[in-house]
Amino acid sequence: MKKLAEVTGFPCVPAEDLIEATSDCGAYVMVHGALKRLAVKMSKICNDLRLLSSGPRAGLNEINLPELQAGSSIMPAKVNPVVPEVVNQVCFKVIGNDTTVTMAAEAGQLQLNVMEPVIGQAMFESVHILTNACYNLLEKCINVTNGITANKEVCEGYVYNSIGIVTYLNPFIGHHNGDIVGKICAETGKSVREVVLERGLLTEAELDDIFSVQNLMHPAYKAKRYTDESEQ
């Protein structure tokens, strides 16, 4: 243990109960569970990056990822989100290794577990590939010059062309009016702003104030009083 501590730089100590440690590999399951949790979170982040950067015409196109690999083997001019895709696959491997560690720990019999070699292999592999994945995601996708950028106009268009923003107007125009506005928008293809103005529910100045970026971050910051009878 002293030599192992010198090599690793960690305060390695023997198990308190050597008999129990010979058969029970629960500690490995717990440690690798933390790696699995990290892998799940990282994979979810990469899923978000891939979805938000999809497009430019048939996807969300809300953000741009660094273009690290020109083109696609199938579609000309297509640029794939290669770093998030690689990290996704690394995370899948780590999650698979977690199943390996779990089943190997379960496979012990009586006072012995002979499956520790595959547990060790899976754990060291997971630590190694997950470390590299974190580094690549940070250095080649996030923390780079001209890294992730937002398509501001596209994002604003999604907000202001969404019928869902009528919900944000409920404190200002009332739920009943909001219901009417939403239905008209769905039937005519008009924006919420257009319909609200046509029906005289709010003025241009009021809508500009309500839909300012700052106020969108603080919903119903100063709701007006309304006299819609259906709201009584």
pLDDT in tens, 141-189: 998 777 899 999 999 999 889 999 999 898 899 999 999 999 999 999 9
Q: Distances from the Cα of 2 to the Cαs of 6, 13, 154, in angstroms?
A: 6, 8, 60
In a domain, 95, yes or no: yes
User: Which one from 23, 43, 53, 72 is the annotated catalytic residue?
Assistant: 72
Same domain, 114 and 211: no
- Give residue 81's pLDDT: 93
Number of domains in the chain: 2
3-class state of residue 58 by DSSP:
coil
Structure tokens at 146: 């001209």
Same domain, 38 and 130: yes
Q: Distances from the Cα of 136 to the Cαs of 71, 82, 98, in angstroms?
A: 20, 11, 22
- Give residue 82's pLDDT: 94
- Give residue 78's pLDDT: 82
Please, what is the Cα angle at 54 between 49 and 59, to 5 degrees? 135
In a domain, 179, yes or no: yes
Q: What pTM does this model have? A: 0.81
23 catalytically annotated: no
Same domain, 9 and 82: yes
3-class state of residue 232 by DSSP:
coil
Same domain, 16 and 128: yes
- Give residue 225's pLDDT: 47
Strand partners, 150: 63
Q: Distances from the Cα of 80 to the Cαs of 40, 53, 65, 75, 100, in angstroms?
A: 22, 10, 9, 10, 31
Same domain, 142 and 32: yes
Same domain, 97 and 34: yes
- Give residue 117's pLDDT: 96
The CB-side HSE value for 15 (13 A sphere, CA atoms) comes to 12
Same domain, 123 and 13: yes
Q: Which domain-ending residue is among 150, 180, 208?
A: 150
Is the peptide bond preceding residue 56 cis, with omega within 30 degrees of 0? yes
Total length of the chain: 232
In a domain, 156, yes or no: no
Please give the Cα distance from 49 to 64 (Å, whole number): 9
- Give residue 223's pLDDT: 57
3-class state of residue 63 by DSSP:
strand
In a domain, 155, yes or no: no
Same domain, 125 and 212: no
Domain extent for 37: 2-150
- Give residue 15's pLDDT: 86
Amino acid type, 62: E
What residue ranges of the chain have pLDDT lower than 70? Answer: 219-232
